[in-house]
Amino acid sequence: MTAANTTGAGRLLIQILNRYDTLDEFLAHIRQGIDAPTDQLPRVHPDDQG
């Protein structure tokens, strides 16, 4: 299968597997990013806008 005759989803899968050894490795990487703590941004109140 070549990238030229595949669907967009197929091309995406090819790119993922070129970068990661397995789909499970890719999914573990995604889950790690999702589960990581997020940065809390300070709230901006309209009254504080000058």
Mean pLDDT for the stretch of residues 7-19 = 94
C-alpha dist (Å) from residue 17 to 8, 9, 26: 14, 12, 8
State the amino acid at position 48 in one-letter form.
D
* Residue linked to tokens 């595949």: 6
Pull the structure tokens for residue 40.
């809390």
Average pLDDT over residues 7-31: 94
pLDDT value at residue 37: 83
* pLDDT of residue 22 exceeding 60: yes
What is the DSSP code (8-state) at residue 50? -
> Higher pLDDT residue, 38 or 16?
16
Mean pLDDT throughout 32-43? 86
Q: Which residues are CB-neighbours of 45 under 8 A, at least 6 positions away?
A: none
